[in-house]
Amino acid sequence: MKISHIEHLGIAVKSLEEAIPFYENMLGLKCYAVEEVADQKVKTAFFMAGQTKIELLEGTSPESPVAKFIEKKGEGVHHVAFAVADGVQNALDELNGKGVQLIDKAPRNGAEGLHIAFVHPKSTLGVLTELCEK
Ligand code: CMX
């Protein structure tokens, strides 16, 4: 697999309504999109910090992975998303073949029209890892 760059950093927040003004008024970043991803039970807000994308995530139900994460660990960095140049399925197959624990066996639809898949943090030194492609 070939990782081309960090596609975004995911940050879990309790409330986008409170977090967006912090990022805009204190950090001077502009929220350019808000999108709900029903499949993942999250509402997302996007910012660019130079060339790096930040994705704020609010859970839309108590069973949301983001709500469960905040319940357990509090707000904070939730995942790192890598763009893969040669396909998410290819990367998943390669990692699976090397014994890495996958959350998704096949890509699914994420925010901004990306195809995404998650790799389990227990297999990635404690960092929930997302693979994406356009
Ligand atoms: N980063 C690091 N560790 C995490 C984690 C995260 N984001 N989320 C959970 N964990 C850890 C927990 O701390 C726990 O560790 P311990 O066993 O040491 O206590 C372990 O993983 C299991 O966690 P859990 O609370 O019991 O939760 P589940 O096993 O039910 O689910 C996970 C964990 C990672 C499989 C689930 O959160 C998942 O499927 N995540 C991928 C999907 C996702 O996060 N979607 C939201 C973002 C969507 C988007 O960006 O569009």
For ligand 1, atom 8, which residue shows the shortest CA distance? 69
Are the C-beta atoms of 34 and 60 separated by less than 8 Å?
Answer: no
* Domains of the chain by start residue, with CATH: 3-133 (3.10.180.10)
Residue 74: how many other CB atoms lie within 10 Å: 9
Ligand 1 binding pocket includes 129 (Cβ within 6 Å): no
Ligand 1 centroid vs 35 CA: distance in angstroms?
21
Beta bridge partners of 37: 42
- Print pLDDT tens along the chain (134 aa): 999 999 999 999 999 999 999 999 999 999 999 999 998 999 999 999 999 999 999 999 999 999 999 999 999 999 999 999 999 999 999 999 999 999 999 999 999 999 999 999 999 999 999 999 99
Q: Which residue has the tokens 């995404």?
A: 116
Are the C-beta atoms of 111 and 44 separated by less than 8 Å?
Answer: yes
Q: In what order do the strands lie in the sheet with 76-84?
A: 31-37, 42-49, 52-59, 3-12, 76-84, 129-133, 115-119, 108-109
Pick the atom of ligand 1 nearest to 111's CA.
51
DSSP E strands in the chain: the ranges are 3-12, 31-37, 42-49, 52-59, 76-84, 108-109, 115-119, 129-133
For ligand 1, atom 48, which residue shows the shortest CA distance? 40
